[in-house]
Amino acid sequence: MVIFLVIATVIIAAGHLGLYASWVKFFGIHSVKIKYILRIVLAVLSLSFLATTALTFWRDNALVNALYAGAGAWLGIVWYLALAVAASWLVFFIGKVCGIQIPMAIIAGVFIVAAAAFSVYGLWNAQHPVIKRITVTIPNLPQAWKGRVAVQLSDVHLGPVHRERFMQHIISQVKAINPDVVFITGDLFDGEGRNLDTLAEPLNELTPPFGSYFITGNHETYIGLDKSLDALRAIDINILRDSSVDVAGVNIVGVDYPKPGEKKDFSKIVSLAVAGQPSIVLWHQPSDLDTLKNLGVNLVLSGHTHDGQLWPFNYITDAVFHGHGYGLTVDGPFTEYTSSGVGTWGPPMRTGNRPEIVVITFQ
C-alpha cells in the first residue's frame, strides 16, 4: 500500500506540474508573484493525499478525518481539471492546424468550470446511494426462499471519510426495506481508521430472519484482518471465511479475500456446501466466475470494482473483469451480480455511476 501511494503521489505531482504549465500559458500569467504562489499551492496539494493518509494511521480525530476527506476530494477534482487541460490543449492544437486564432483563456476557463461542476456533482452523488432492485431465479429454490428479499451491501469503506452518520443513513434505508437476509460482500472497512467497532455498531439494528453474513475484501487485509474481525465480534453477524452454512435449504458460501500470492481453491470451498442444494457464493471480486459456474454455483455476489468510481475508469474495470465490472449476468442456471458499492475509496466522489444498496428478490 505504501509503495502504491508513493508511486501515485509521483504521478499526481507530475499532473500538478502539468496544470501549472498549462494555466500559465492559457491564462497568460506573467506575474512572478502569482506564479510563485501558484507553484506553492499546487505543490502542497500534490502531496496532500499521501500526507493525510499517513496522518490517519497516527491519529483518529475530526481534524485529521476532515483533512483526509479534503485531500481525497481534491484528488478527484484534480483528475477532472487534468481532463479539462487535455481538452484545452486539443482545442489549441486544432486551432494551430486550422490557422484559427482561438481565445484560449475563455476556452480553458469554460473547461475548468465544467470540471468543477462535474466534481461537485460527484461529491454530492457519493453521499446519496440509490436502491437497486434485481430479481434472481434459482432452480430448485426451496419454498421457504421464494419471494424472499436479500440486501447486498458492498464496499462501504467505513473509516476516516464514511463515519457513523453515513453508516446510520445506510442502515436506516436497509431497515425500511425489511430484508429477510443481508449479505456484506467485503470492504466494509477502509484501509485506515480506528474505533471500527463504533462505526460498524449500527449493523446490530438489522435483525433479518435468515441472518446477516460478512466476507472480507482487500481493504480488510490492508487494515489488518485481526483488527477488522475484532471490530465485528460484538456485532450480530455471521463471518464466513472459506466456509458454508445451510440456511433453510440454501447454501451460503463465503470466500475470504486472498492473501498476497494465495490462489483460492474454490472446489474445496464449494465442496463444504450441502450437495444438491442451491448455493449463493459471496466473493468480493468478480473473478474466477467460470470456475464457480462449472462447480454448479447458482448465484455469485461481488463488489470491489466501484464501477470505476470516477468516469471514465468504469471502462477499465469492465475490461479488467471481462465484462463483469458492474451489473447482472445471467447464464442459464448461473447468475452473477457485481455491485458498484455503497462507499468510496480515495476521492469521496462518484461520477458516471451511482452508489447503491442492492435489493434481491428470489424466485
Q: What is the mean pLDDT of residues 215-240?
A: 93
Q: What are phi and psi of 243, to 5 degrees?
A: -140, 170
The residues spanned by each domain of the chain are 2-126, 130-362
Q: Is the pLDDT of residue 36 over 90?
A: yes
How far apart, in whole angstroms, are the C-alpha atoms of residue 236 and residue 223? 21
Q: pLDDT over 90 for what percent of the chain?
A: 90
Q: How are beta strands 327-331 and 334-338 bridged, if at all? A: antiparallel
Per residue in 304-314, pLDDT (tens digit) is 999 999 999 99
Q: Please say whether the beta carbons of 110 and 87 come within 8 A.
A: no
Give the C-alpha distances (Å, rounded to integers) separating 362 from 125, 141, 144, 250, 300: 29, 8, 10, 12, 13
User: Which helix (H) or strand (E) element contains residue 354?
Assistant: none
24: its cell numbers:
500559465
DSSP 161-200: TB-HHHHHHHHHHHHHH--SEEEEES--B-SS-S-HHHHH
How far apart, in whole angstroms, are the C-alpha atoms of residue 111 and residue 88? 7
Per residue in 90-101, pLDDT (tens digit) is 999 999 999 999
Q: pLDDT over 70 for what percent of the chain?
A: 99
pLDDT at 53: 87
7-11, 18-22, 287-291: least confidently modelled range: 7-11
**Cβ within 8 Å of residue 82, ≥6 positions away:** 15, 18, 19
Q: What is the mean pLDDT of residues 190-204?
A: 86
Report the sign of the C-alpha dihedral through residues 359, 168, 281, 239, in that order. negative
Domain made up of 130-362: CATH architecture: 4-Layer Sandwich (3.60)
Helix (H, G, I), strand (E, B) or coil at 216: coil
Using alpha carbons, select from 240, 174, 251, 235 the residue that is nearest to residue 213.
240
pLDDT at 3: 79
Q: What is the mean pLDDT of residues 274-299?
A: 97
Q: What is the mean pLDDT of residues 63-91?
A: 96
Higher pLDDT, 283 or 222: 283
**Has this prediction a pTM greater than 0.75?**
yes
How far apart, in whole angstroms, are the C-alpha atoms of residue 284 and residue 63? 32
Confidence band, pLDDT 50/70/90 cuts, at residue 234? confident
Helix residue ranges, H only, the chain: 2-26, 32-58, 62-98, 104-126, 164-177, 196-200, 218-223, 225-230, 266-270, 289-294, 313-320
82: its cell numbers:
487534468
Confidence band, pLDDT 50/70/90 cuts, at residue 231? very high
Per residue in 3-16, pLDDT (tens digit) is 777 788 889 999 99
pLDDT at 57: 83
pLDDT averaged over every residue in the chain: 95
pLDDT at 1: 62
User: Which helix (H) or strand (E) element contains residue 340?
Assistant: none
Interhelix angle 32-58/62-98, nearest 10 degrees: 140
Residues in the chain: 363
